[in-house]
Structure 1
Amino acid sequence: MARRSFVELLDEEAPPDAFYERLRLAERERVQPVELERLREELAVAMRVRSKMARQRQRESELRALYETANDLTAIRDVDAVLSAIVRRARQLLSSDLGYLSLVDPERGDCYIRITEGSQTPAFPTLRLPLGSGVLGMVIRTATPYFTEDYLADHSFVHLGHVDRSAGDEGIRAVLGVPLVLNGEVIGALLAAQRSPRRFSHDEVALLESLGAHAAIALENARLFEETSAALHELNDANAEVRAHSQSLELAASAHDRLAQVLLEGGRVADVAAVIAGVLGGRVWVLDPAGLVLAAVGADAAESAASTLESAVADALHTGRVGEVVADSGELRYVAVARAGSDHLATVVLGRGARLGEADRRVLDRGAVVTALLLMFQRSVAEAEHRVRGELLDDVLSAPHRDPGTLRERARRYRADLDAPHVVLVARLEGVDRHRGAALAARLASERHGLAGLRGDDVVLVIPGQEPLADGRRLAERLRGALAAVVTVGVAGPTAGPAGIAVAFQEAEQCLAVLLALDRPGDVADGAGLGVARFLLSGADRSEVDQFLHHTLGPVLEYDARRGTQLVATLDAWFAAGGSLAGAGERVHAHANTVRQRGGRGAGAPGGDRRRRRA
């Protein structure tokens, strides 16, 4: 590979090690001293240029942030929102521990802290300072920036006891303040504080000062906006049409901001529905393409009447505009589709008595766009996680002994502890796509810190727990309620460890096979509940049957061998006689009372509870 020159490294914005590696390579190749000295000089120049470029990029970054801040601030109308945005951005740009904004109170002749960001004590935000005291008062009085590296040790300004105590409680050491000046008059100050000694650079002072200048203008814009709004309200009768238009714009702006907030915070479809219902008024449903309710606000999910929306949905898909239909109840229903390209992801339905104007329709349409974005993001995240969890489940069930340590470590990444007691559920769904069932099971597994996936035609769920039957019934209810499907579940457990989970899966799979063979769709069962039918109908091997028989008849066989009795023969005769003591006695040539006495020595034997005997 060709050697890169220092100019090429600068162009590529390479790290410092890459520059020094160029020199070390020349030293290893033992180039001529003159050439080596030339390289050292070029390296020194290159590092100086790189440092200047880095400072330039930092400056460009600060200017870009300042420009973006100005755009953000001038777009905000609410005064408190403006002030909060100013303080938050100032603290971010300077990487300070605390940011706060103070305004002058002309009526009281002092200044007070209006907004704080990063404060840790309740007293600090309530401080009021006479003009000229402390850094805050000094900045407002002199209308010039000022900073101190150590507030409590700096005696170049007036200290007040209650202010110093509050600053000490906050741990404030270094403070930088700049004035907010409007039309030659100081209206407040913007400050950044550090809980350790710090010397603020000239660039930082200039940056905060520029932000303060923009902030003052933004405050004035917000004030003027409030005054304009008040004037419009006073002229309500004469300017009804203008006011209505202004309200529509405000409504659209509010909806845009709230929907954007939902999107940026990674909210849910229900949050979008709540914003639409709150902004436009009425009831909101979000339906999947099949008409199932994903979210409902202000309405019963059963009221969606998706079948009456078919024409409106088709029209909205075709035209890309909000559709309209009248429900059976006479209520107007407005329909907007959420889609990605030609993929129909969901339908947003608004029901209300009043008609929607164009601005309101745009709000509903914007809500559908945000819904589509959320669903696409959720789909991508869910598919990735479900795929990885399903691959892990396949490895646990297929090769638990290959590398159990690695399996445990992979499970821990998803907060799953394979060594804790787990139950294994194997479900067969009828009347619905198995992939939809697997997706829902994956969400349930994620909630319980377990694993889920598809194995052939069946949905497999491995979750922490001690009660397999109860968990199996809950799974069947969730799947049945969400998918309207017939759900049959075989369960096993509890068990622990990759090997134990693999064995339990085989048992749960056998239970499911037996339920299906017995024509019991929709049931939930474990091995104990199926008894010997589990082995007769599931294709179990000889070792499993022997194990079951030993578990069931082992104590009776051991008793016969130890005592020389005939409990097994008596039991066999009793079953052959249909539970008749006399009939059993004839077969073993013993009196009925003798049969009864022998039965008292075995669990579930003749002479015991009849319901248990017939089990």
Structure 2
Amino acid sequence: MNVFLELLAREASAVEFEGPVLQARAAGADQATLEELEREKVAALRIRAVMRRRARREAELSALFDTAKDLAGLRDIDAVLAAIVRRARGLLGTDVAYLTLNDAERGDTYMRVTDGVITARFRSVRLPLGAGLGGLVAQTGEGYATSDYFADERFRHTITIDDAVTEEGLVAILGVPLRLGGQVIGVLFAADRGARPFAREEIALLSSLAAHASVAIDTARLLEETRAALTELSEANRLIRNHSTAIERAADAHDRMTGLVLRGGGVEDVAAVVTEVIGGKLTVLDGTGEPLVGDPGDVDPSVPDAARASRALGRSVERGRNLIASVDVGGSESAPLCTLVLRTAGPVVDTDRRILERAALVTALLLLFRRSVADAEGRVRGELLDDLIARPDLAGLPDRARRLGLDLAEPHVLVTVTHDGQRERAAFWASSEAALTGGLATARGDEVVLLLPGDKPGVTAKRVAAELSASLGRPATAGAAQARSDVAAAYEEARRCASALVALGR
């Protein structure tokens, strides 16, 4: 066995493992010795296969982690997308990888990033919407693979696309959708110049990279909107500096908020600028009405109606001594991003209105940016918890947890919560709770599951049930179990506990 261990240690090729058996046979070894060597060879090859799978999985996780880091420090969208496409090509071992985006104005699809492409025609080709493998992916919202592009009749072939594919020499192609909300905005491809199948693991990996690419595109859009808003602020500052002391106050506030955003400041920093420049007491509410900054006791009952009026009018409104500015997503009254409530000590001048409105816009953009990055991390955390429950023997789970700052050897409580409220709202609450406490969360059917640091299942279950019930406005029932080494077993125990509580009407 030592000779096979040496081969494993130096990562020898599979054919080299035949050497010891052939040498023994040539030396005249007896049948028993040859059979023993054959068994050892088979065992060593199995170990080699496991090691290679683990190495590949580690490389995949490392690439996803590196991509998440790129998103967190996003500065250049072209560089981030190029890195994602390059990683897709390297991890899947394909000849080519490329990313296409839909052009709503022209009604077609164009090449955004390529890696490994050798022909100018392929780089510059524009595809009609619904044509080619990409069209099938965009129409269905699902990933598709073909081992022989030209023999595959599942999608619509066109002369333009087929000529470009022929010139590039591509045969096997895999494409997965880039989603933004519920809309497919493009497709991420990996392709080979020879026939080959694509495994489900490869499709899943490319889909994960596509999810990161979608976040990068959305984040770049938000950053561009932020820059546009800040450019508008700077232009306004230039125009009003020569008018009055009040105008200079507005200019100062705008400049300071611009600097805060560019330096990575947060909502608290923007609020501090507003109160310092205008005075009064400022409360910042999130989309659910929970306070992000300030004392909720300063918010009177008229604020929700005033916030709806502010969003409908697109400007701030006054209610008594309160000046309210509220921002939503695309004019949808049902989805406010934030509301700023300024309790003033005296009369409100027009400049103060503009300052508060700009502060509300900057705050909304900051919250959108945070949400995009948090969604990407939340998906990674949710996938890890799903694997801990459904596939506890999967290689690399402790390493994945450590990369997320989680030590599975420490005490944790597994909580499963059943509810009859909005599934998306419950999942968002669970993801936020996990992020705040350093745990994991996922949604499974009509329940949410959390893995939280701690060693008091009963206390944790009561707290989680109470807080989720308050968030949903409906009762939720939680069961909990101590998760020491077997998260899957703890999950089943917690589910039994929750079921028992439901049966008892508690």
The two structures have a TM-score, normalised by structure 2, of 0.48
The two structures have a TM-score, normalised by structure 1, of 0.40
Higher relative contact order (CA 8 A, sep 6+): 2
